[in-house]
Each structure stands twice: as structure tokens, then as C-alpha cells.
Amino acid sequence: MEHSVSYIFDDKLLEHCDKLPPVKQRASMVHALIESYELLKYMNIIPSVKATPEDLQLFHSSSFVKCMKESNDLDLDDVNEEQIEFGLGYDCPPFENIFETILTIAGGSLTAASRLVSEDTKIAINWCGGWHHAQRDEAEGFCYVNDIVIGIEKLREKFKRILYIDLDIHHGNGVENAFAFSKKVFTLSFHKHEPGFYPGSGLLSDVGLGNGRGYSCNVPLKEGVSDYSLNYLFKIICPQIYEAYQPEVVVVQCGSDCLNEDPLGQSNLTLDSLGECIRSILNWNKPTLFLGGGGYNLPNTARLWTYLTAIITGQDKLISMDIPDNDFFLKYGPGYELPIVKGNQKDTNDKTYLDCIIKTVKDNLKKYDVKSSL
């Protein structure tokens, strides 16, 4: 039976994503929970097609691709100055078969984008994608390849106006930088912005450059953002941007490190607020690509992306709040439930600050005359 949702999955994709140093076994944990909730039967399962080195150059430089290829069998101890220059080491350490992994990750999002371009699906999901920090010439922030930009470049074969929405707790700097000078991709990032918090970019005043000025929007959040604050901003800002820009396709990065209990994100959010964001996007009824991203509390990442899969497939009102038996069941203790509790940090994003952001975004859309005609 054909469904309107395509789910990118195959064993090789999981195998390679399970090797990524900061999130080992996460891909398998996510897939196992989705499978245990019997959500696969509501989607078309599409095996990914590995990208080629030429595909990587839809965004990355030839010298970066060459360096990654030559680093395929590198040991951490073997890293030289050239590899360090291209970002290998520190938060992106080399590992065995790294180039094959990069090609496989990029291939997952390319496969998803291709389904939308060919109109074989209305919605595509690739939870193995969403690596938004990688730059044209540099691996960065646990991201060895920017599969998002590569996927968007594929979408540009068909769609003239693409809206990119980033829900990760970290600023989507790699994607914004890639399209900073373009009106053909509008980038919108909700993220924490505090002194010392990675990557340190994404100010409210950062609105794009040159011909693309006004076509980037950043929503910098203070410590302790709550479900209320995120949804208050999202439900006002997103419709304003949507109405002004009139996108033909939407790409959503659903990083789960914004959830409570994430060791890097340190935020208050629960599944509820992210779910409301996704429902709002689905109501636009546009071709949409949903991607993963950050998420370093692995059970909570699996909870979120499973819950979002249920929303996307229309099954969220029917699934059990008790975690079904699966290969990683013991990781969900002690409660073994799907929901997560909200954090108890003080939300320093008061209404005055939230309204200031909303006013600035609205003024910028008018100031830079953001519109659908290109």
C-alpha cells in the first residue's frame, strides 16, 4: 500500500550512523522504537542510495572531499595539519571508514530529497540526517558532512522557494552560511544563545548577506526556555514568515538536544512543544523533509523522533504512553514511558523579551521586503 510518508531506512544507513562518535548506537535505538510502535506500516520504507563524491560537491569543496577520502583509514593519532585544517580532530575525530560513512549519511538526505523532487511522496523522513554545523571546507560540531545543504541543493532542481526551519538547541550555522547570500532558501533557526554556548552565532540581528539580506531569521533564546516560550514564538513567527515567503517546500531539522535532560542542551523542553511545532508545519500541507540532528540523551532522542513520526503519520492519538518491548527497552528506565518530564530551570525568556523578538522579526520582514517573487 502506498502512503504519503516516505521513511528512509536500510541496514547500511543504520550501521554507519551507529558509528558516529558522539551518538553511537543512536540510529538503531531510534529505529527500534519506531518499529516497536508499529509505525512502519504507515510509511513507505525507502532504502537510501549512497552519495557519490560528486554529490558532496553540491556544497563541499573538492579539497574538503579529497581530504575526507584520504582520511578513510586514519587513526586519531595519525591526524596531520591538513586534516585538522578541514576539521578532523577534537569534536570531529576520525574513525574507521569515515568517507564511506560521510557518503552514506549524505545519501540518506539526498534520497529523501529526491522523493520530493520526483513527487513520489509528500513527506520524507530521515532521522539519520540533520548535521547542520558542517561548513563548506570544514567538519564541525560533530558534523562531518552537511547533508542538509546537499539535500536542499537537490530540492532546488524543482522548487524555487525553500523554507528551512531549525529546532535544534544549537544554531544552524552551516546551513545559514551556505545560503546567506540567497533568496531561494529562507533559513529560520530557534536556538539557545548564551555566552560560551556553541557555536556562538545566530544573533537576532543576523538576517543574511548581500542579495539574501532579510532571508535569514534567528531566534536566540536565553537560558531555561520552556514549552510555553517556544510555542509562543513559533506560533507567531512561523506563520508570518510563511505568509511573506510562500515556500514551495519545507525542510525541518528536529534536533532533540533542546529537550530536558540533554547533557549538552540543558533546556526545559518536552515532547509536547516540539510536537506542536511539527503539527503547525504539517498544517501548511506542503512537501516537507524532516531530518534528525543533535540529541545526546539517546533514549529521549528516540522518544522524540518516534513521537514526531507518530504525529507525521497521524497515529499520535493512538499510540501507547508505555514503551513497547524492543531491543533497547532497558535504556528507558526507570519509568519506561514515552513522555519526558519538563525541566525545572527558571525560564529567563520573559514576555517582554519574547515580544521584542517577534516585533523585530516582523519589522525585518517588512524592512527587507521579504516576498515570494524572486
Q: How far, in Å, CA of 223 to CA of 149, rounded? A: 29
Characterize 333-354 residue by residue with b for buried, 16 or more Cβ atoms within 10 angstroms of its Cβ, and e for exposed: eeeeebebebbeeebebeeeeb
Residue 8: all three cell numbers together = 528512509
Query: What per-residue string of b and e applies to 259-298 under the rule 16 or more CB within 10 Å gives b?
Result: bbbbebbbbbbbbebbbbbbebbbeeebbbbbbbbbbbbb
- For 57, other C-beta atoms within 10 Å of its C-beta total 15
Partnered with residue 25 across adjacent β-strands are none
Query: How far apart are the C-alpha atoms of 278 and 70, rounded to whole Å?
Result: 40
- Of 31, 60, 132, 133, which one is the catalytic site residue? 133
User: Is residue 16 among the annotated active site residues?
Assistant: no
As a whole number of angstroms, the distance between CA 280 and CA 276 comes to: 6
- Contact between 295 and 26 (Cβ < 8 Å): yes
54: Cβ–Cβ under 8 A, 6 or more apart, which residues? none
Query: Which stretch of DSSP H or E encloses residue 190?
Result: strand 185-192
- 3-class DSSP state for residue 322? strand
Do the Cβ atoms of 269 and 259 come closer than 8 Å?
A: yes
Positions annotated as catalytic residues are: 133
